[in-house]
């Protein structure tokens, strides 16, 4: 599964914290009871950083590309220093343990024979090796499990937020759909009512026209023709002309 820049940013932040804690511990000069855990953790980070860098290079057009790339480069540079310091601490740890083992063997040599001393020394080395390996593996697994749990919690939080937003969006869309459906029904009823009113008006106008034609035919007996209308217009025009002449002549008398 391809890593997104968001996942890479989270992993880089975790690695920065681990390397910073390691560097701070070495700078304070505290005595490490078991530096193998830090060494294994740093080696794991050293293996993961090139893969993270390749994942970042697949998103060159993103705004986070330069930032994440520079952070990974800084981690790689700082990681070499931390590994060197942890290697030194590991060597000192082994020397100190070897010295303590030799001192314990010398004290036991006063009461035991020489072969028993060699056998005890070998057993101490074997038990030390098993204990160190066991502690390193367990701690590494714990660190990996802790990192995985953080990633899982982060993804679960994102998924819960998305589910909540999707539920809210679905509710809003449902309400909008219902409102739109109600408005469409109202508009359809209004259009239907308007159509019915127009049909009623058309029927009424046709009825009025029919009644007027019937009334006109009844009163005139069908004698109104175009010639009759021309004569009527001529009569009205002549009457109007006479009235105008009278209005001009009568005031002078």
Residues 50-96: tens digit of each pLDDT = 888 888 888 788 888 888 888 888 888 887 888 777 777 777 777 77
Proportion of the chain above pLDDT 90, given as a percent: 8
Confidence band for 116, pLDDT divided at 50, 70 and 90: very low
Sign, Cα dihedral of 132, 137, 140, 145? negative
Query: Does the structure show a pLDDT above 60 at 31?
Result: no
Query: Does the structure show a pLDDT above 50 at 234?
Result: yes
pTM: 0.35
Query: Does the structure show a pLDDT above 50 at 18?
Result: yes
Which carries the bigger pLDDT value, residue 160 or residue 235? 235
| Distance, CA of 183 to CA of 17 (rounded, Å) | 58
14: left (phi over 0), alpha (psi -120 to 50) or beta: alpha
Asked whether 7 and 64 are in contact (CB, 8 A), the reply is no
Listed in sequence order, the residues at least 6 apart from 117 whose beta carbon sits closer than 8 Å to its beta carbon are 105, 108, 109
Residue 199: its pLDDT value, please? Answer: 92
Instruction: State which of 9-13, 76-80, 183-187 shows the largest mean pLDDT.
Output: 183-187
Residue 237: its pLDDT value, please? Answer: 93
Question: How high does pLDDT run on average in the chain?
Answer: 75
Query: Does the structure show a pLDDT above 80 at 216?
Result: no
Q: From the centroid of its chain, how far is CA 168?
A: 15
Query: How would you class 71 by CB atoms within 10 Å of its CB: exposed for 0-12, middle for 13-18, buried for 19 or more?
Result: buried
Show contacts of 72-80: CB within 8 Å, 24+ apart: 72/12, 75/12, 75/15, 75/16, 75/19, 75/45, 75/49, 76/46, 76/49, 78/19, 78/23, 79/19, 79/42, 79/45, 79/46, 79/49
């Amino acid at each position: 599964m391809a890593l997104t820049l968001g996942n890479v940013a989270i992993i880089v932040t975790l690695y920065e914290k681990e390397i910073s804690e390691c560097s701070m511990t070495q700078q304070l000069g505290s005595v490490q009871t078991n530096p193998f855990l830090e060494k294994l953790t740093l080696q794991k980070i050293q293996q993961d950083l090139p893969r993270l860098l390749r994942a970042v290079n697949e998103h060159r057009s993103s705004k986070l590309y330069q930032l994440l790339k520079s952070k990974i480069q800084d981690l790689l540079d700082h990681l070499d220093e931390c590994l060197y310091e942890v290697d030194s601490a590991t060597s000192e740890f082994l020397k100190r343990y070897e010295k303590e083992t030799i001192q314990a063997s010398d004290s036991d040599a006063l009461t035991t024979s020489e072969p028993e001393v060699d056998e005890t020394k070998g057993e101490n080395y074997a038990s030390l090796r098993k204990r160190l390996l066991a502690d390193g593996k367990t701690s590494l697994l714990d660190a990996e499990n802790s990192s995985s749990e953080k990633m899982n919690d982060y993804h679960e939080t994102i998924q819960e937020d998305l589910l909540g937003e999707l539920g809210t969006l679905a509710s809003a869309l449902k309400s909008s759909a219902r409102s739109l459906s109600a408005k469409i029904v109202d508009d359809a009823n209004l259009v239907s009512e308007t159509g019915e009113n127009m049909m009623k008006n058309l029927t009424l106008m046709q009825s009025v026209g029919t009644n007027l034609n019937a009334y006109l035919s009844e009163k005139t007996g069908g004698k109104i023709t175009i010639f009759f209308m021309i004569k009527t217009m001529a009569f009205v025009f002549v009457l109007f002309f006479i009235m105008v002449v009278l209005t001009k002549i009568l005031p002078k008398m």
